[in-house]
Amino acid sequence: MNYVPFSSVYVNHLTISGLFSLNKSTIELAKPLVPNLGSIPTATLDQLELAQQNLGAGMNQAQKSALSDGVKALDKERDAIIAEIFRVTGSYLRSSNEAKKSAASTLHLFLVPYKGVASQPVNIETGTVTDMVLKYRARPDLQAAAQTLGIDNLFDGLDSKNMELNSFYSNRTTEYAERDEAASSFKPAAVAAYIQFCTSIEQAFNFAPNETITALFNIMDEYRKKYHALETVKSAAPATTETAK
């Protein structure tokens, strides 16, 4: 048989927020499909959820430290852009212009899962916004809807502000790096759990596929391709199958 593997993504090279976001998207995608996944994928998904909870708790613990004025200012600017996207979209839901009303409805359905993102801890919000922008850019219908409402520039601005904040956050002094220690200690388990879940889905896809497994495999593979671009470290040595998962 012709074995089809997942596209490579070096999850250990992702930032903590990037890993959190990838795991979050994967869990949200797979959780409703549990009845059709089989026992092993379901068991590995449970492990991924537990590791994700621990990683999130570590990120929250790290976030309890006082943030610099610079981070606070950038976070406030990012939150303002998010609020404006939601405000404009919501206002056009009641528009008499059918084209704008339809565009607003399309964007509204996309934005619903991200309601409350601005109240998340800064580092977690960065990962969530990264996920949001990636999904937005992957869907021409959402981009067209944003253009119809005249807020495509807000999505571009949100992406730029999020990257600016993430860069500022990542390049802090050793004092800040020490604040991330709690979250960093949970990263290896979260990486391992993601790899195990992907391995179980990859094997199910190749040896015991069904419609659910096939659809899940394909969407997860698209996620992996997108997050590959977010890797912060590029290994000079050839990756093994395990690290590439």
Provide DSSP, 5-61: PPPP--GGGS-HHHHHHHHHHHHHHHGGGGGGT-HHHHHHHHHHHHHHHHHHHHHHH
- Tens digit of each residue's pLDDT (9 = 90 or more) over 105-154: 999 999 999 998 998 888 889 999 999 999 999 999 999 999 999 999 99
Rounded CA gap, 152 and 7, in Å?
30
- Tens digit of each residue's pLDDT (9 = 90 or more) over 148-162: 999 999 999 999 999
Looking at residue 15, what is its pLDDT?
84
- 228: tokens are 């590959």
Rounded CA gap, 6 and 8, in Å?
6
Phi (first) and psi of residue 162, to 5 degrees: -65, -40
Q: DSSP class of residue 230?
A: T
What H or E segment, with its residue span, contains residue 180?
none
- Tens digit of each residue's pLDDT (9 = 90 or more) over 228-238: 876 644 443 33
Distances (CA, A) of 5 to 27, 208, 245: 20, 14, 10
Distances (CA, A) of 236 to 117, 233, 239: 36, 9, 9
Sign of CA dihedral 214, 217, 223, 228: negative
Rounded CA gap, 49 and 56, in Å?
10
Split at pLDDT 50, 70, 90, the class of 64 is low
Segments making up each domain of the chain, as ranges: 11-63+187-244, 69-171
